[in-house]
Structure 1
């Protein structure tokens, strides 16, 4: 199982995996993967503990949007990420494109290393959610017009882009038989 971390940080997701014996005994946790937005990483790392936690607990770091920053900025960011997590592999990406072999079946997760970082991290009370991080959920049962969704996302990101850690969705688009992810 590859663990793609969300904007709530690594600890709660990993804790859930180890808290349920059925899950722990049925699956091997392969790697904790964190996508780092190269354009906004400095701001996120400076301002939120959640971003720092994701980097510290990751096995693999995908340094994304490297095409939007200078090579000097990438070098500075890579040194900062390496200082925060000397064990993680760092891959530079654009639009998060990467050969799947680099992130699947890599056997990078090591519970002992995680416990070295934070001996208390498997305990539920060890993690407090950062109140500066929030989520929104939009639900619609009718099929959506893809052009309108694209316009809305573009304008939302134009206005709030530096504050967005990630966005995802499963969309019911007019004229498409299957849902779009």
Structure 2
């Protein structure tokens, strides 16, 4: 336990100390460390502890974020209007998740579950969702997630057109009219997906993402992508949290495989048109 059981930014130092103590005393005696936060905890400070603290990241890696959703009451909390500049904690916890467990499904109707699923997918289009009663799910669903493993980004970035989340399909840089979405300025948290064939200039991509983090890092909760870049037969995979970005070459494209770029952005006040424009500016 850390001070008051709280893992918000005021006690991140305690979290670092606790993790390093565990590594020092019991390094070879555990496979996973499970951190359970309160229902009002902000996920970002905990995630950033693993990404930004050099000592922690040397010995411990973040596997993933699992969010337990109360299907009976979640919609009320997700739709709660907060004062200006105050972020809805329930929405943030869904936005940062790699896995989402929709619990208490026996207390609601199938129609309510479908509406809640659509709401969750609008906020976070890449998290895997599992329904449960009494919180019972397979252990493999919550451990070994690999949510921050670049080698698994390709399988993680799946764009599901059947649910919410603003998606955009583009072939060779030309916008298909049948997939057109109106320009959106969403003050709520949402996700934007871009799927496009074509080859990207990696230097231009790096410049674009760096500018994006500098200008919008506070509002960019998560981003992941699989890219087809010039001069390489390998995918380029990347992921980011706020102003932290990590990327590297991935597995090789097959000779007859369609080289499709897939990017997902999750955040607040996302300007879908600006994101599309920035992406198109990197196409060769």
Fold match by TM threshold 0.5: yes
CA RMSD of aligned residues (A): 2.5
Unaligned runs of 5+ in 1: 123-181
Residues 109 and 46 from structure 1, CA distance in 2 versus in 1: closer, same or farther, beyond 3 angstroms?
same
TM-score of the superposed pair, with normalisation by structure 1: 0.59
Unaligned runs of 5+ in 2: 1-31, 83-87, 158-220, 225-239, 245-284
SS at match of 1:75: helix
Give, in angstroms, the shift of residue 4 of structure 1: 4.5
In 2, the alpha carbon distance for the partners of 1:3 and 1:119 equals: 19
Give, in angstroms, the shift of residue 5 of structure 1: 4.8
Instruction: Look up the match of 1:34.
Output: 67
CA contact (8 A) 2:94 2:124 kept: yes
Decide which structure has greater helix share: 1
Instruction: Look up the match of 1:50.
Output: 89
Residues 82 and 50 from structure 1, CA distance in 2 versus in 1: closer, same or farther, beyond 3 angstroms?
same
Number of matched residues? 122
Runs of 4+ in structure 1 off by over 3 angstroms are 1-6, 110-115, 117-122
Give, in angstroms, the shift of residue 25 of structure 1: 1.3
CA offset digits 1:40-69 (Å, max 9, x no partner): 101111126111011011000011111110
Instruction: Look up the match of 1:120.
Output: 242
Residues 95 and 16 from structure 1, CA distance in 2 versus in 1: closer, same or farther, beyond 3 angstroms?
same
TM-score of the superposed pair, with normalisation by structure 2: 0.39
Instruction: Look up the match of 2:43.
Output: 10
Give, in angstroms, the shift of residue 119 of structure 1: 5.9
Decide which structure has greater strand share: 2
Give, in angstroms, the shift of residue 17 of structure 1: 2.3
Residues 51 and 121 from structure 1, CA distance in 2 versus in 1: closer, same or farther, beyond 3 angstroms?
farther
With CA pairs under 8 Å and 6+ residues apart, which has the higher RCO, 1 or 2? 1
In 1, the alpha carbon distance for the partners of 2:76 and 2:97 equals: 19
